[in-house]
Amino acid sequence: MAAFDWFWRAMGSSPTKNQKQSRAIVAGAGAERYRDAEDAELRAAAAEAVDQREIVDGEVERDGGIADAPQLLAALREIARRSIDLDPFDVQLQGTVRLLAGDVIEMATGEGKTLSGAMAAAGFALQGKRVHIVTVNSYLARRDDAWMGPMFDFLGLSHGAIHEDLTPEQRRDVYRRDIIFGAINEIGFDVLRDHLIIRREDEVRSPADVAIIDEADSVMVDEALVPLVLAGSEPGPAPMSRITALVKSMTEGVHFTVSPDHRSVFLTDDGAHFVERHLGLDSLYGTAEEQGGSTGKRKADGGEQQPAGQVLVQVNVALHAEHLLQRDVHYIVREGKVALIDSSRGRVADLQRWPDGLQAAVEAKEGLQVTEGGRILDQITIQALVGMYPEVCGMTGTALAAGDQLRQFYNLYVSVIEPNVPTQREDEPDRVYATGEERDRAVIEHIVEVQASGQPVLVGTQDVAESERIADDLTQAGVECAVLNAKNHEAEARVIAEAGRPGRVTVSTQMAGRGTDIKLGGADESERQDVLDHGGLRVVGVGRFRSQRLDNQLRGRAGRQGDPGSSVFFVSLEDDMVAVGGAGSELRAQPEEDGLMPHKRVLQFVDHCQRVTEGQMLDIHATTWKYNKLITDQRAIINERRRVLLDTDAAWQDLSYHDVDKAKELEGDGVPKNVLEQAAREIMLYHLDQHWSDHLAYLDDIRESIHLRAIARESPVDEFHRLSIAAFGELAEAAVRDARETFTAATIDHGGAHLDGLGLKKPSATWTYMVNDNPLAGSGGSVVGSIAQMFR
Surface-to-core class of residue 369, CB atoms within 10 Å of its CB (0-12 exposed, 13-18 middle, 19+ buried): exposed
Tell me which H or E stretch contains 608: helix 600-647
User: 112: annotated binding-site residue?
Assistant: yes
Pairwise CA distance, residues 760 & 352, whole Å: 30
User: 114: annotated binding-site residue?
Assistant: yes
Q: Pick the closest to residue 463 from 618, 323, 327, 261 (CA basis).
A: 327
User: 257: annotated binding-site residue?
Assistant: no
User: 626: annotated binding-site residue?
Assistant: no
Surface-to-core class of residue 295, CB atoms within 10 Å of its CB (0-12 exposed, 13-18 middle, 19+ buried): exposed
User: 92: annotated binding-site residue?
Assistant: yes
Q: Under a CB-based contact definition with an 8 Å cutoff, are residues 79 and 151 in contact? A: yes
What separation in angstroms does the CA of 695 have from each of 418, 607, 735, 767?
Answer: 49, 44, 11, 19
Q: Under a CB-based contact definition with an 8 Å cutoff, are residues 385 and 707 in contact? A: no
User: 744: annotated binding-site residue?
Assistant: no
Antiparallel, parallel or unpaired: β 431-433 and 331-334? unpaired
Q: What is the crossing angle of helices 716-745 and 650-658, to 10°?
A: 70
Q: Under a CB-based contact definition with an 8 Å cutoff, are residues 196 and 729 in contact? A: no
Pairwise CA distance, residues 610 & 598, whole Å: 18
Q: Return the amino acid letter for 545.
A: F
Q: Which residues are bridge partners to 181 per DSSP?
A: 133, 161
Tell me which H or E stretch contains 227: strand 227-235
Q: Return the amino acid letter for 194.
A: D
Q: Which residues are bridge partners to 613 per DSSP?
A: none
Q: Which residues are bridge partners to 376 per DSSP?
A: 231
Pairwise CA distance, residues 304 & 189, whole Å: 34
Q: Return the amino acid letter for 311.
A: V
Pairwise CA distance, residues 792 & 790, whole Å: 6
Q: Pick the closest to residue 537 from 516, 509, 517, 514 (CA basis).
A: 517
Computed on alpha carbons and rounded to an integer, the radius of gyration of the chain in Å comes to: 29
User: 295: annotated binding-site residue?
Assistant: no
Mention every residue, 6+ apart, whose C-beta is less than 8 A from residue 194. Answer: 203, 204, 205
Q: Under a CB-based contact definition with an 8 Å cutoff, are residues 148 and 115 in contact? A: yes
Antiparallel, parallel or unpaired: β 256-258 and 265-267? antiparallel
First to last CA, the chain: 46
Extract the annotated binding site. Answer: 92, 110-114, 517
Extract the annotated binding site for ATP. Answer: 92, 110-114, 517
